[in-house]
Chain A
Amino acid sequence: MAAAVPSEQRMANQIAANLRHVPGDEAAEAIAGHIRRFWDPRMRARLLELVETGSDGLDPVVVAAAGLLARSQEAPTG
């Protein structure tokens, strides 16, 4: 069986897929906004960690959204 995709990556990619119709930069902001609004800080930290370590399969828009999250310092410790 293939290694399981980390939950945070799976969920973030899913948000991105559902916001695919949102154009360009707005999509990254929408994803970041959704994650800020609904995710526990430790989940956000885990997502940033996955982005940091270059986890395979992360949607590029999620990577962009993670950048926004990191810049707005919205990822405190869990």
Chain B
Amino acid sequence: MTLLKEPDFGTPERPGGATVTVEVDGLPVTVPEGTSVMRAAAQAGIDIPKLCATDSLEPFGSCRLCVVEIDGRRGTPASCTTPVADGMCVRTQTPKVEKLRQGVMELYISDHPLDCLTCSANGDCELQDMAGVVGLRQVRYGYEGENHLDAAPDLSNPYFDFNPAKCIVCSRCVRACGEVQGTFALTIEGRGFDSKVSPGAGESFLDSECVSCGACVQACPTATLQERSVVELGMPSRSVVTTCAYCGVGCSFKAELRGDELVRMVPYKDGGANEGHSCVKGRFAFGYATHPDRKLKPMVREKTTDPWREVEWDEAIRTVAEKMRAIQDAYGPSSIGAISSSRCTNEEVYVVQKMVRAAFGNNNVDTCARVCHSPTGYGLKQTFGESAGTQDFRSVAKADLIMVIGANPTDGHPVFASRMKKRLREGAQLVVVDPRRIDLVRSPHIQAAHHLQLKPSTNVAVINAMAHVVVTEGLVDRSFVDARCEGFDDWARFVALPENSPEATEPVTGVPAEELRAAARLYAQAPNAAIYYGLGVTEHSQGSTMVMGMANLAMACGNIGRDGVGVNPLRGQNNVQGSCDMGSFPHEFTGYRHVSDDAVRTVFEELWGRSLLPEPGLRIPNMFDAAIDGSFRGLFVHGEDIAQSDPNLQHVSAALAAMDLVVVQDLFLNETARFAHVFLPGASFLEKDGTFTNAERRINRVRAVMKPKTGKHEWQIVSEIATAMGYPMAYDHPSQIMDEIAQVTPTFKGVSFELLDKLGSVQWPCNDEAPQGTPTMHVDAFVRGKGKFVVTAYVPTDERTTSRYPLVLTTGRILSQYNVGAQTRRTGNVAWHPEDLLELHPLDAENRGITDGDLVTLASRVGSTTLRARISDRMPPGVVYTTFHHPVTGANVVTTENSDWATNCPEYKVTAVQVGLAHPLERHAGESLGTERLAAVD
């Protein structure tokens, strides 16, 4: 494929009912009312010269290059800011406008370096293009006058350069930062000739509020804002459209290459999830894929104390197969299992669970979704009948009230957050339910109507209190409930009990009753109210209960089944939704069908030619327990670092150390690999061919940008292990795996690579009833028929603060880093977050004699670690917060074995801890000893 350049219509689309017909240079064109003359002309195939206009931004009318003549109108209006009118006759090429455009270009060029041949944007510069288009042949003003050519570049950002000498002050970057990203970090400083683009108040890009999303770079028509990789490597020559492998937003990108070398990732305008936007991780942080730490050869060792020995694939696969079978021979068929990864493609995940069920002969397969969104699967299945979010991302543009619960979208799901912020700037109201004052609570042009700053672990009490208000104040949507739901009366009686009132729950939750009542009324009375939630909901002992509580509230207020509403999980990893869909849970086949269902099991047995077990297998935490008691002895870990990401790491380490065989497949020798006997090198997303499914159930194609550096695809390796274990599994191409998935999964029946290549992406269910997918679920009826109200009693967590551990620790992630940091720590993103920090309230800090930047000890009843303190009033007194991106910190050393009652999802968000000043030598000792520094306490 050559370099893919999407058309730029100059101004945004104005979808609507009424249309008007105009004539542009004699060509008739019919467009929606409100469309600009520039866009109408572009749709007629006529490109009007432009510099300050691009179709991702509202028209600005500053460059004056797009002037046209319109019959019957005076002057030469800018076509970008002039809307069409019925019968309008536009002339885009007249002597008058040609002369004006040349004059404008002369002025621009008189203050622009004439270094086109050596410029990094040569061949991709709109100024250069426009000079050609307008026929510029001379610059009458000369180049000797006052100019900006000596303006110093800002090279502070790790990924892009800012060269003000090349800036034409079109404001596209400033507008992109505001309109697209919603950060408003950039401004035009000064007036007239002194006007210049400035990040913040005279700061460098790195020190400013810039979040490095790349929107400004994307919008820049010159080389002023340019990817450093382009400066260093040159302009790419071909594109491959693929999907980002970071968070659950699932942005589409054009991977742009020179030969086989990846030069840059450019957000794809036709991407359904991101529509041309990106964040710092997807846009820039791909360098890990070629990092020297990456392992490309399989390795084996007898004992974990032995050095690794590089081997050929045949030997590695044979070793895994023989050792797994030997364990089964000695300890029974259920003594081995696997953990699949939400980082991998649907096809890879599918073959892993198939290997376990058909080749291992048990159901001991689980996925890392266990430790993040398993309560979503359980809770939404119970209430709505399907384990998935209800909306597409576009839906937020129709919401009048947005309630964000236990999520931090600007850090965790930044591209979706930009959509959300846009809607909030348009006037939608915001309620934030979070112990921490996340950025959304108050940011440029956004102010939450209510921030319910609840105490950690009291989500269910809060949602019940909101439901209490809805039921007792007559705010229930009776027509929706009567027509579409069941179990309402029992539930309504329960939430109406006095103990669920906001006044009664205030001492428990810490949320002022009046504020909670106001928030509940706002939610219930908004025409369209949408709930978006994250791990601050699920990673609790009542994670599943809270998911059902939110579903109850949404049904009670009729907020299901149309645009602008819904219950929407913001999934953590790129393919959390997909890995769950693909039958990675030990109790379910693909499409969330229980293994005990004879009819479903028969489908798989007939296709796979093996008898399958009707009993659920072990979940991840159960695998660890079973390893320690000796009944589980062999584990295949596919693309997950459980020795860093899972809670109570001492327990995890003990379990891994107890196993006879640990097989790790990953890009890097991660923490888990310290316990491994076989290491199978994995492929980066740039080498994968398959699909990811994002948080809105959108199945996106992942296309290989290059061949696997390891020589094998991961689905191929898994298939070869299964084959070596005596269960032949062979595919020639991942599309065949998707065909098999479609064959056995009713919600995927219509999905194929061919369809995805044709439509770009599709949201499941995709089948005979919905051949082009389902953006909004439960429109006329719930998947389970009637929506089911479930009583959600609040049960306090067992994790209690004590005099010894008086604070509550909650964890999360930051914009620039990603989960255990295996990828982002190996990129320029370390510029923003070189270490994990412990945020604590000034009062808690003062009581302990802690000042900002001090090294502190963080201890819980299961372990302790050291890290630096950051004093912050974002946390309420009594609550501390940290991230878990760096293994040297090992934040999960202190998290406990508490988990969700229904799914065993760990309670990461609530750990009783103590914080104190660390001895100066502690960190030093920790760094040199790796995780061995992590002493048990008690």
Are A and B part of the same complex?
yes
- Asked if B615 and A76 sit within 8 Å, CB to CB, the answer is yes
Interface bits B607-625 vs A (CB < 8 Å: 1, else 0): 0000000011111011001
A15 interface residue (CB < 8 Å to B)? yes
Q: Contacts A38-B587, A40-B615, A43-B622 known; A18 to B334 CB distance under 8 Å?
A: no
A71 contacts across to B, CB distance below 8 A? none
Given contacts A17-B795, A18-B793, A18-B795, contact A37 B901 (CB under 8 A): no
Taking a contact as CB atoms under 8 Å apart, the answer to whether A18 and B901 are in contact is yes
| Contact residues, A28-73 vs B (CB, 8 A) | 34, 37-43
**Is A78 interfacial (CB-CB < 8 Å)?**
yes
In the complex formed, the residue of B with least CB distance to A1 is B938
Could you say which of A14, A40, A43 contacts B541, with CB atoms under 8 Å apart? A14
- B631 close to A37 (CB less than 8 A): no
Smallest Cβ-Cβ distance to B628: which chain A residue: A7
Docked-complex contact A42 and B616, CB < 8 angstroms: no
List the A side residues contacting B887 at CB < 8 Å.
Answer: none
Could you say which of A18, A34, A42, A78 contacts B542, with CB atoms under 8 Å apart? A18
B914 contacts A by Cβ under 8 Å: no
Which residues from chain B contact A40 at a C-beta distance below 8 Å?
Answer: 334, 363-364, 586, 615-619, 622, 626
Q: Could you say which residues of chain B place their CB within 8 Å of the CB of A37?
A: 587, 594, 596, 616
Quick check: A18 and B364 within 8 Å, CB to CB?
no
B133 at the interface (CB under 8 A from A): no
What's the least CB distance linking A29 to chain B, in Å?
Answer: 16
In the bound complex, what is the Cα–Cα distance between A3 and B542 (angstroms)? 25
Cβ of B332 under 8 Å from chain A:
yes
Which residues in A have their C-beta under 8 angstroms from that of B793?
18, 20-21
Residue B545 interfacial (CB < 8 Å)? yes
How distant is the Cα of A15 from the Cα of B271 in the complex, in angstroms? 42
**Complex-state Cα separation, A15 to B363, whole angstroms:** 22
B902 at the interface (CB under 8 A from A): yes
Residue in B closest to A42 when the chains form the complex, CB atoms? B631
For A14, give the chain B residue with the smallest CB separation: B901
Give Cα distance in the complex from A41 to B541, angstroms.
23
Which residues of chain A come closer than 8 Å to B901, judged between CB atoms? 11, 14-15, 17-18
Tell yes or no: B494 within 8 A of A by CB. yes
**Number of A residues with CB within 8 Å of any CB on chain B:** 19
Chain A nearest Cβ from B825, distance in angstroms: 33
CB-defined contacts of A78 to chain B, threshold 8 Å:
332, 334, 631
B615 pairs with A15, CB closer than 8 A: no
Inter-chain CA distance A76–B333, complex, in Å, is: 14
CB distance from B860 to the nearest CB of A (A): 13
Contact of A20 with B586 in the complex, beta carbons under 8 Å: no
Complex contact A42–B626 (CB within 8 A): yes
| Binary interface encoding of chain B residues 894-906 relative to chain A, with 1 for a CB under 8 A from any of its CBs, else 0 | 0001010111100
A1 to B804 alpha-carbon distance, docked (Å):
14
A1-17 near B? 1/0 per residue, CB < 8 Å: 10000010001001101
Do B334 and A42 touch across chains, with their CB atoms under 8 A apart?
A: yes
Give Cα A42 to B622, complex, Å: 10
* CA A74 to CA B617, docked complex, whole Å: 14
Contact among B364, B616, B626, B899 for A38, CB-based, below 8 A: B616
Residues of chain B from 764 to 802 with CB closer than 8 A to chain A in the complex: 791, 793, 795, 798
User: Which residues on the A side are within 8 Å of B587 (C-beta)?
Assistant: 37-38
Docked-complex contact B631 and A34, CB < 8 angstroms: no
What's the nearest-Cβ distance from chain A to residue B647, in Å?
Answer: 13
Bound Cα distance from A34 to B618, whole angstroms:
14
Q: Are A21 and B494 in contact (CB under 8 A)?
A: yes
A40 vs B904: C-alpha distance when bound (angstroms): 13
Residue of A nearest to B594 (CB): A37
Determine the chain A residues whose CB is within 8 A of the CB of B625 once the complex forms.
Answer: 7
Please measure, in the bound complex, the distance between the C-alpha atom of A76 and the C-alpha atom of B334, giving whole angstroms. Answer: 12
Residue in chain B with minimal CB distance to A15: B901
A11, A34, A40: residue with the most chain B Cβ atoms closer than 10 Å: A40
For the complex formed, measure the closest distance between the CB of A25 and the CB atoms of chain B, giving whole angstroms: 17
A13 to B619 Cα, complex, angstroms: 18
- Which interface residue of A1, A18, A21 has the most chain B CB atoms within 10 A? A18
Give the docked Cα–Cα distance between A18 and B545 (Å). 8
User: Which of A1, A20, A41 is B615 in contact with, Cβ under 8 Å?
Assistant: A41
- Complex: chain B residue closest to A20, CB-CB: B793
Known: A7-B625, A14-B541. A39 touches B795 (CB 8 A): no
Given contacts A37-B587, A42-B626, A78-B332, contact A21 B615 (CB under 8 A): no
B residues 486-526 near A (Cβ < 8 Å) are 494
Bound complex: CA A43 to CA B617 (Å): 10
Residue of A nearest to B793 (CB): A21
Q: A7-B625, A17-B901, A38-B902 are in contact. List 18 more A-B contacts (CB 8 A).
A: A11-B901, A14-B901, A15-B902, A17-B795, A18-B545, A18-B902, A21-B791, A21-B793, A34-B902, A37-B594, A39-B616, A40-B334, A40-B364, A40-B586, A40-B615, A40-B619, A40-B626, A78-B631
A-B CB contact pairs (8 Å), 5 listed: A11-B901, A21-B793, A37-B587, A37-B616, A43-B622
Chain A residues within CB distance 8 Å of chain B: 1, 7, 11, 14-15, 17-18, 20-21, 34, 37-43, 76, 78
Which 8 pairs show the lowest CB-CB distances between chains A and B? A14-B901, A18-B901, A21-B793, A40-B618, A1-B938, A7-B625, A17-B795, A41-B615
